[in-house]
Structure 1
Amino acid sequence: MISDNIKRIKSEIPDFVTLVAVSKYQSIEDTKAVLDAGVDDLAESKVQDFLKKYEVLGDRPRWHFIGHLQKNKVKYLIGKTFLIHSVDSIELLDTIERESKKQGVVTDVLLQLNLAREDSKSGILIEDLDAVLEALPKYQFVKVKGLMAIGPLTQNNDKIRDIFVELKKIYDRIKGNSVDAVVQMNYLSMGMTDDYTIAIEAGSNMIRVGRKIFS
């Protein structure tokens, strides 16, 4: 079932789009089935759950952390993740920098934006983004590899599309202006089970899919 679901999704998306399987709440057996089906990128949203799976699977997957990240939990992710998607403040960047320096590694992250201004979601508000971007050149052990957003909670596809199009414009603007090695716009992480086709049409090159893989 999992293998068939993955084949179906891969047939629907372009080759340049990275499929990240959201394995949160899934068993080790089902998570392994995703890897066996040829998906190397796995995402968790809780540090405790990530660590349990990391103990078993180690570095076999490319691990992504997509949940809200508390500063006191950062140290448990450093050196183990391919990307931390959910960076939403200068304070969190400072913590990642400090913990990465301790371990002598560079941590790749995405900046999470909250363009829909939903109180239920984390993310940088558009009016605060420039301040975050201006702070980035000081970091030596953090690299910003792109942007992430969660689509608005609505059945209105036009509203979802508008948010994704706006994020793509911001991504392109930052990419065009980036001259510092700390900022490299490689990944635009937007789109989940219910809206990834809209996200890809808007320019996403990384989607996060859980329910459609495991159900």
Structure 2
Amino acid sequence: MISENIKRIKSEIPEDVTLVAVTKYQSLEATQAVLEAGIFDLGESKVQDFLKKYEVLGDQPRWHFIGHLQKNKVKYLIGKTFLIHSVDSIELMDVIEKEGKKQGIVTDVLLQLNLAREDSKSGILEENLQTVLNELSGYQFIRIKGLMAMGPLTQNNDKIREIFVDLKRIYDKIKEESVGEVIQMNYLSMGMTDDYTIAIEEGSNMIRVGRKIFS
């Protein structure tokens, strides 16, 4: 079932879009089935659950941490993740920089934006983004590889599309004006099970899909 679901999703998306299988809450066996189906980008949202799977699977997958990250848990992720998607404050970036310096490891991250301005979601507000970008020049152990956002909690596709259009606009602006050693802008991570087709239409090159793989 998992392999068939993945095959179906892969047939629907362009080759240059990375499918991150959201394996949070899934068993080790189900997670291994994803790897056997040829998907090696796996998304976890809780550090404790991630570490349990990492103990068994190690570096075989490209691990994406997609959940809210507490500052006191950062040290457990350094050197183990391909991308941390959920960096939502200067304070969190400071901790990642500090832990990276301790271990001599550069960590690749995405800045999470809250364009829908929903209280239930973490993320940097658009009006605060430039302040965050201005703080980055002194960092040596963190690289900003792109942006991430979640679509709004609505059935209204026009409102969902509006958020994705905004995120792509911001991504393109940063890519044009601010790319350097620290800010690189390779990944636009937007789109989940219910809205990834809209996200891809609006420029996403990385989608995070869970339910459609495992149900």
TM norm structure 2: 0.99
Are the aligned partners of 2:41 and 2:64 in contact in 1 as well (CA < 8 Å)?
yes
1:26-75 deviation line (CA, Å, top 9, x unaligned): 00000000000000100000000000100110000000000000000000
- 2:208 alignment partner in structure 1: 208
Tell me if structure 2 keeps the 8 A contact 1:137–1:180: no
- Residue 49 of structure 1 is matched in structure 2 by 49
Aligned position for 1:166:
166
Give the residue type in structure 2 aligned to 1:163: I
**Preserved CA contact (<8 Å) 1:100 1:107:** yes
Q: Deviation digits for residues 154-205 of structure 1, max 9, x if unmatched?
A: 0000000000000000000000012421000100000000000000000000
Give the aligned residue type for 2:16. F
One-letter amino acid of the counterpart of residue 112, structure 1: Q
Matched, 1:129 2:129: yes
Q: 1:1-215, aligned counterparts within 5 Å?
A: 1-215=1-215
Task: For 1:35 and 1:180, locate their aligned partners in 2 and report how far apart those are by CA, in whole Å.
Answer: 34
Compute the RMSD of aligned alpha carbons.
0.5
The number of equivalent residue pairs is 215
**CA distance in structure 2 between the partners assigned to 1:111 and 1:140 by the alignment:** 16
**C-alpha distance 179-6 of structure 1, shift in aligned 2 (>3 A):** closer
Q: Structure 2: where are the runs of 5+ without partners?
A: none
Cα 1:11–1:130 change in 2 (3 A) is: same
Partner of 1:68, secondary structure, is coil
Runs ≥4 in structure 1, deviation > 3 angstroms?
none
Distance 1:63 1:4 in 2: 22
